[in-house]
A and B are shown apart, each in its own frame.
Chain A
Amino acid sequence: MSFMHLSFYSAFALSSLGLAFHRTHLISALLCLESMMLSMYIALSIWPIENQAPSFTLMPMLMLTFSACEAGAGLAMLVASTRTHGSDHLHNLNLLQC
């Protein structure tokens, strides 16, 4: 595997593991989500350069837009959870009713 592939895969995997196995705060999960997005952005940017196909250069911009929306939504939920539960601790986020 080439060096780029390895770095991209490892960055993405590390971020997703960070998303899955965070400890206390929701914001650390959101940060890991952002880092996943960042690694994907860099990979998507390097991809047309590598393959000499300039028409795919638009892809990272689209992805960035959508990830900004998603980050905004995530932050809004963080604020909402802080407003209702008083903190953004993850053990507040319980699907069970009682």
Chain B
Amino acid sequence: METTLLLNTSLLLTLAIILTPTLLLPVSKTSSNSPTTITRTVKTAFLISLVPMTLFMLSGTESITSYWEWKFTTNFKIPLSFKMDQYSMMFFPIALFVTWSILQFATWYMASEPHITKFFFYLLTFLIAMLILTIANNMFLLFIGWEGVGMMSFLLIGWWQGRAEANTAALQAVLYNRIGDIGLILSMAWLASTMNTWEMQQAPLPTQTPTLPLLGLILAATGKSAQFGLHPWLPAAMEGPTPVSALLHSSTMVVAGIFLLIRTHPLLANNPTALTLCLCLGALSTLFAATCALTQNDIKKIIAFSTSSQLGLMMVTIGLNLPQLAFLHISTHAFFKAMLFLCSGTIIHSLNGEQDIRKMGGLQKMLPTTTSCLTIGNLALMGTPFLAGFYSKDLIIESLNTSYLNTWALLLTLLATSFTATYSLRMTLLVQTGFPRTPTNPPTNENNPMITNPITRLALGSILAGLLITSYITPTKTPPMTMPTTTKTAAVIATALGIALAMELSTMTHTLTYPKQNPHLNFSSSLGYFNPLMHRPNTTNLLNSGQKIASHLIDLSWYKKMGPEGLTDLQLMAIKTSTTLHTGLIKTYLGSFALSILLILSTQT
């Protein structure tokens, strides 16, 4: 049986199914494009995308197809080519599954929204862009997908346009992503000028790749995946509706940067400088985000910082030269992070818009399904043995411990792991247990199957995904098999320490002592002072230097003082004094004649 034919056909069918609502849009504006239709479309696409995934799992079939070639110049051709390797074929079903669940949830969450169809269209367009990015074989298609997801992120974060904070957050997201795009374009330009192609298979060099294009790729990943330095947009992006946060800023868009590094890992593998940079940047990001998450009070912000921290962990994995493990973490992370966001969405709606965890409590009795899935998600995030997160996170930390690398990066990652446990447990305890701190009689209701079905489906995925993926995908690099017991259990010990710390702190909070301000609390709750330190001074300095160079230096000083106008001023001074002599009156001339005669006579005799 022609497996590649079946593979290509089914994948193209998936893409075609997803594109169908967009094609039907100009035809009919009636209920044929309603949210339920779009949800059903994505569900169908998910079921069909299982075919290529099973084909790959059973036979290892991969393929690259190219359809049409854009003859840009005579010796630089850009084909429209799709690469179906393990990464794209595994990502398709996972992304479609998560999107299907989120869309189903969003039909309940955004039910009171008048423009709900437009919302679903935006989500669908985002999904198309993300899938283009995943399946791209050359940097051109990847760039199209990259820009597409950035644009849709902007539109979706600022969905509630009347809110000033939402507009600011959307603008912040676009600006930070743009800074990353500079890096991407830099590396694309280097690729085009050095390799004369944008195809990614033709890229690797036998010798060491120069550091500059790799720096560009790392900058692109920093911008898109919110590593430290270009990270403030991710917590601010929580201004968008919860389905947006669940889809974009937890599972799919923010992993685009890491995905780029996974795709181009042959280039990175030769350059130890770039790998070390990834390692240290990822370690710093994960610790910084985990520190900030410790004192957040908004449930969505805690989950956002958690996402940022896990992205840092993925960057660390790239720095260890283990792209497959990073992809495994992307896949498992998608399940439990999306589920955490959906649970938080249910909680927010049930408490009539309350997002502060200090005003929640005792929800375990009121929302049993949601809180059980919240617990499952938090346990998976912490890396509880044999849930989904364990398979990726534990492997990463084992590889960290057994590799020849920077001790500082290792320490930071372990500290971040224990912080992860701490803030997850804090969130769980404050939200679910204890006495309710909500106002009386909130409209809690989770009886709608449109809420419970997606969340339980994702919970099932959070439990089983790790096991399934690792069973069926053969690793390309042998994982470390032998290590001392302490090293093997390092992740679990760090997590347990974090849990113990959180339990201790929770007993402290119940004694109603007001927390005194100390530098560490201030650092954590003001997000490391990054925003006020960077946003104002950078822009002020940039604009000031622009004014100095353009206006003060060139216009005012060269033209006015020293150049043409300065000459004018000098002449004017002399002219003004000699105007009185140039009146044209005979009297003046005769007077000067007499004066000069007198002078001559006095000098002669």
Contacts and interface: CB of A to CB of B under 8 A. Distances in A.
B580 to A, nearest CB: 13
Interface in B555-605: 582-587, 590-591, 593-594, 597
B583 A96 contact: yes
A91 B587 CA distance: 8
A91 B584 CA distance: 9
B584 A20 contact: no
A21 B594 contact: yes
Contacts of A22: 587
A69 interface: no
B119 to A, nearest CB: 76
Interface residues of B, number: 11
A17 interface: yes
Nearest to A91: B585
Interface string A13-43: 0001101111000000000000000000000
A90 B587 contact: yes
Contacts of B587: 22, 90-91
A95 B582 CA distance: 9
B591 A21 contact: yes
Contacts of A96: 582-584
A90 B585 contact: yes
A21 B585 CA distance: 12
Contacts of A16: 594, 597
B589 to A, nearest CB: 8
Contacts of B583: 94, 96
A22 B594 CA distance: 12
Nearest to A94: B584
B591 to A, nearest CB: 6
A94 B586 CA distance: 7
B590 A19 contact: yes
Counting chain B CB atoms within 10 Å of each CB, which of A91, A93, A94, A95 scores highest? Answer: A95
A90 B583 CA distance: 13
A17 B594 contact: yes
Contacts of A91: 585, 587
A19 B586 CA distance: 11
A20 B585 contact: no
Contacts of B594: 16-17, 20-21
Nearest to A17: B594
Nearest to A97: B584
Interface in B68-108: none
Interface of A: 16-17, 19-22, 90-91, 93-96
Interface of B: 582-587, 590-591, 593-594, 597
6 contacts: A16-B597, A19-B590, A90-B587, A95-B584, A96-B583, A96-B584
Given A90-B585, A95-B584, A96-B584, 20 more contacts: A16-B594, A16-B597, A17-B594, A20-B590, A20-B591, A20-B593, A20-B594, A21-B590, A21-B591, A21-B594, A22-B587, A90-B587, A91-B587, A93-B585, A93-B586, A94-B583, A94-B584, A94-B585, A95-B585, A96-B582
